[in-house]
């Protein structure tokens, strides 16, 4: 039963990710998708552990940040140490520009922020299914991302397929859980 629920959770989260990518956001799926999958796997282990909610969230936050950095560094040029250095330098440069009124449109930093967001969405989904048993708290966060994306997207690509697939997965997920 748990594996089927995890697959459905992955499908729910991936519909939101793929709709963002289809609407031409500067997003590197090679970073966001593995981070989301690792987030689900790690969150499943935490949800099945004896840790309390606060400690699990703290552990998840630390590991989420480190694994996001590692996955992003893996795809940078050079070895992993040079990749981590590059990711950190670019993130610091973006932060300095953001806080001093400058403009920096580095797509890596946007990808890092989205990856961390989906790490927490994956954690939220797994935690609320396996620990708290609140189905709507699983469905609403990715649904809000998809709806906001659909409302504000002005391009030519249709996002309806992602939303229909999301709603179908929600229906299957809801009937499976309740």
pLDDT for 89-116, tens place per residue?
999 999 999 999 888 888 999 999 999 9
Q: What is the mean pLDDT of residues 15-41?
A: 95
Over 80: is that where the pLDDT of 15 sits? yes
Q: How many helices and strands in the chain, by DSSP H and E?
A: 7, 0
Q: Which two tokens stand for residue 22?
A: 């289809």
Q: What percent of the chain is predicted at pLDDT more than 70? A: 100
Is residue 100 classed as helix, strand or coil in its secondary structure? coil
CA–CA separation, 94 and 36 (whole Å)? 23
CA–CA separation, 19 and 161 (whole Å)? 9
Q: Which two tokens stand for residue 74?
A: 């893996």
Among 93-97, 131-135, 171-175, the range scoring the smallest mean pLDDT is 131-135
Q: What is the mean pLDDT of residues 25-45?
A: 95
Q: Which two tokens stand for residue 64?
A: 């989420």
**pLDDT tens per residue across span 155-172:** 899 999 999 999 999 998
Are 98 and 104 spatial neighbours (Cβ–Cβ below 8 Å)? yes
Helix extents (H) in 53-153: 53-74, 80-99, 107-127, 136-152
Q: Enter the DSSP assignment of 148.
A: H
Over 90: is that where the pLDDT of 68 sits? yes
Instruction: Name the band, by pLDDT with cuts 50, 70 and 90, for residue 29.
Output: very high
Q: In the prediction, which pLDDT does 84 show? A: 94
Q: Which residue has the tokens 């400058």?
A: 102
Are 119 and 36 spatial neighbours (Cβ–Cβ below 8 Å)? yes
């Amino acid at each position: 039963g748990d594996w089927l629920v995890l697959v459905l959770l992955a499908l729910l989260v991936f519909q939101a990710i793929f709709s963002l990518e289809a609407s031409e956001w500067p997003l590197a799926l090679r970073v966001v998708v593995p981070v989301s999958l690792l987030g689900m796997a790690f969150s499943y282990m935490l949800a099945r552990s004896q840790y309390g909610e606060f400690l699990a969230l703290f552990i998840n936050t630390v590991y989420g940040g480190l694994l996001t950095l590692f996955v992003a560094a893996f795809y940078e040029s050079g070895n992993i140490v040079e990749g981590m250095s590059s990711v950190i330098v670019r993130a610091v440069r973006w932060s300095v520009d953001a806080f001093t009124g400058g403009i920096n449109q580095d797509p890596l930093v946007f990808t890092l922020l989205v990856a961390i967001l989906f790490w927490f969405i994956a954690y939220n989904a797994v935690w609320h299914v396996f620990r708290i048993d609140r189905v709507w708290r699983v469905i609403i966060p990715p649904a809000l991302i998809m709806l906001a994306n659909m409302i504000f997207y002005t391009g030519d690509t249709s996002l309806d397929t992602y939303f229909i697939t999301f709603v179908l997965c929600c229906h299957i997920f809801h009937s499976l859980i309740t």
